[in-house]
Amino acid sequence: MDRDLVARYDSASGAAAYRKKYEGSWIRRLSNRRELAVVRTALARAQTRGRVLDCPCGAGRLTPSLLRFADHVICADASASMVAEAQDALRGRADAGEVTFITASAAALPLADDAVDTAVCHRLIHHMANADERAPVWAELARVAKRRVVISFSDDSTWKARSQRRRGVDRRRSALMPEQLNAEAAAHGLMPIGEPIRLNGLHSLVAVAVFAVDGGA
Ligand SMILES: C[S@@+](CC[C@H](N)C(=O)[O-])C[C@H]1O[C@@H](n2cnc3c(N)ncnc32)[C@H](O)[C@@H]1O
């Protein structure tokens, strides 16, 4: 587990600040809306249904979008403070039996094989330094998902990424070419469905990719 990454969010104040982050300015709210629209496009491509895993769930930002496709969402995050924020934000949906919560690492999920239809992993792997760190996360997503894995990554193939590289901008993130992403996924029996969906065309760093689980129709 990336202890620094979890530590950043694993305090009541850090988690509360993350929950507010996407509501701050109108630009934040707009970019949040656009990002959620990209996630929904990916979920539609995945033909998501049934039970869905949202890991890391953070403060539950994506969960209402996931519930447009799913009957039940399992929210998981390595930070107990984040899970507490998500529980607070999603209280009504949880009371209705639509959401459950677990504090767990994406690299060691306390879920059975094929426990969900689709595993969604948004804004996690770009924090991970290399393929060795990402491998246990891929393995767990592929294990618990019966049909699809939907995962975001920092896309190194876009015009913006190339421009930042040329200028020597330190992105503090692990960016991947789509071919690298697909190769890592293939090692866990995941096959891409279409090209990654980019948040903002070539002027984008965040992209969302959809994978079919080997044997999952
Ligand atoms: C940038 S936030 C993204 C949260 C949410 N997906 C969103 O987009 O709003 C990253 C989250 O990853 C969690 N995290 C870090 N390492 C983790 C791990 N190994 N397994 C599960 N969650 C982790 C952090 O606690 C934090 O909530």
The bridge status of strand 190-192 relative to strand 197-202 is unpaired
| 154 contacts 124 by C-beta, under 8 angstroms | no
Asked whether residue 168 carries a pLDDT value surpassing 80, the answer given is no
Tokens for 96, please give them.
Answer: 């209705």
**How do the domains of the chain map onto residue ranges?**
3-213
Summarised one tens digit per residue, pLDDT across range 194-207 is 999 987 766 667 89
Fold of 3-213: Rossmann fold (3.40.50)
Question: Tokens 């879920």 correspond to what residue?
Answer: 111
Long-range contacts of 6-10 (CB under 8 A, 24+ apart): 6/78, 6/79, 9/58, 9/77, 9/79, 9/81, 9/82, 10/78, 10/79, 10/80, 10/81, 10/82
Q: Which residues line ligand 1 (CB under 6 A)?
A: 1-2, 5-6, 9, 55-56, 58, 61-62, 77-79, 82, 105-107, 122-124
Percent of the chain exceeding pLDDT 70 equals 93
DSSP assignment of 127-172 equals GS-SHHHHHHHHHHHHHHEEEEEEEEEEETTSHHHHHHHHTT----
Instruction: State in Å, rounded, how far the first CA of the chain is from the last one.
Output: 31
Summarised one tens digit per residue, pLDDT across range 90-135 is 999 999 999 999 999 999 999 999 999 999 999 999 999 899 999 9
Q: Check residue 58 and give left, alpha or beta (phi > 0: left; psi -120 to 50: alpha).
A: left
Confidence of residue 1 (pLDDT cuts 50, 70, 90): very low
CA 26 – ligand 1 centroid, Å: 24
- Closest C-alpha to ligand 1, atom 26: 58
Look at 11-15, 83-87, 140-144, 181-185 and tell me which has the smallest mean pLDDT.
11-15
Q: How far apart are CA 209 and CA 213, in angstroms?
A: 13
Q: How far apart are CA 146 and CA 142, in angstroms?
A: 8
Q: Residue 186, SS3? A: helix
Q: How far apart are CA 206 and CA 198, in angstroms?
A: 6
Pocket test for ligand 1, best of 4, 57, 124 (most atoms within 8 A of CB): 124
Tokens for 80, please give them.
Answer: 């107990």
pTM, to two decimals: 0.93
Q: Provide Rg for the chain, Cα atoms.
A: 16
